[in-house]
């Protein structure tokens, strides 16, 4: 319902969180190859998680255009928004 997430490393009781404008970025994309990328530069050694605010459900630009989704910035136009990233100490039992 809101534009935010938090993740926790239960072994270390630390976490990371992020807030953003959900009206601009109503979707969140999850990228987690978890040692699944065998080629350069990871060679199967990367345990990775990326969570990205996204403006469309479509990964393909042509599909986003067909469905009239995504953010359109015209020549000379500007857009401002804010992303807030924060660390969380779960040993203090504080959650956003």
Query: Against a cut of 0.85, is the pTM above it?
Result: no
Using 50 as the pLDDT threshold, list the residues of the chain that sit under it. Answer: none
N-to-C CA span, the chain: 14
Of 3, 12, 15, the residue nearest 95 (C-alpha): 15
pLDDT of residue 57: 92
Chain mean pLDDT for the chain = 88
Helices and strands per DSSP (H, E), number in the chain? 1, 5
Radius of gyration of the chain (CA): 17
Rounded Cα gap, residues 27 and 73, in angstroms? 18
Cα angle 32, 54, 16; round to 5: 55
């Amino acid at each position: 319902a809101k534009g935010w997430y938090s993740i926790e490393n239960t072994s270390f009781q630390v976490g990371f969180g992020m807030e953003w404008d959900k009206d601009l970025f109503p979707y969140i994309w999850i990228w987690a190859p978890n040692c699944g990328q065998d080629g350069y530069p990871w060679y199967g050694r990367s345990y990775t998680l990326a969570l990205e605010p996204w403006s469309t459900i479509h990964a393909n630009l042509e599909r986003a255009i067909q469905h009239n989704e995504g953010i359109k910035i015209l020549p000379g136009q500007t857009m401002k928004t804010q992303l807030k990233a924060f660390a969380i100490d779960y040993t203090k039992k504080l959650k956003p």
